[in-house]
Amino acid sequence: VQLQASGGGTVQPGGSLRLSCTPSSQTADRYAMAWFRQGPGMEREFVAAMMWVGGTKYYSDFKKGRFTISRDNAKTTVYLQMDSLKPEDTAVYYCASSSSRDVILYPRNIRKYKIWGQGTQVTVSS
């Protein structure tokens, strides 16, 4: 399974972007999908996650209210809607998939996600 992320680009502060992530194939072993990001010189950090069964959502504390994770009804694509973007949101954004049954206990733990997309660059600049 591969993940294809898209939707990045350059936007002014206060603007919006919607990222998309589509798996190359469906699998019954997907328990969660998530978005992480990695800014220049920084470690990869958790942004948002969604349990694939039930749809429970989790967010990084300082993303809540500006970012929204969602999926289409066919469960083929996961999205990250980003509003009120700030320059500090500049990063490469990665989508990831987890086949760990206990990811529901640790949805923000990067080690629970083994399949990663190639990343899409988001730049917030005036």
Q: How far is the CA of 109 from the CAs of 17, 50, 87, 106, 113, in angstroms?
A: 25, 13, 25, 5, 8
- pLDDT above 80 for 1: no
- pLDDT above 70 for 27: no
Give the Cα separation of 5 and 1 in Å (integer). 13
Q: Scanning the structure block, which residue is given the tokens 């948002």?
A: 48
- What pLDDT score does 24 carry? 78
Give the Cα separation of 115 and 113 in Å (integer). 6
- pLDDT above 70 for 12: yes
- pLDDT above 90 for 85: yes
Percentage with pLDDT > 70 across the chain: 95
- What pLDDT score does 33 carry? 94
- What pLDDT score does 62 carry? 72
In degrees, rounded to 5, the angle at the alpha carbon of residue 57 between the alpha carbons of residues 54 and 61 is 165
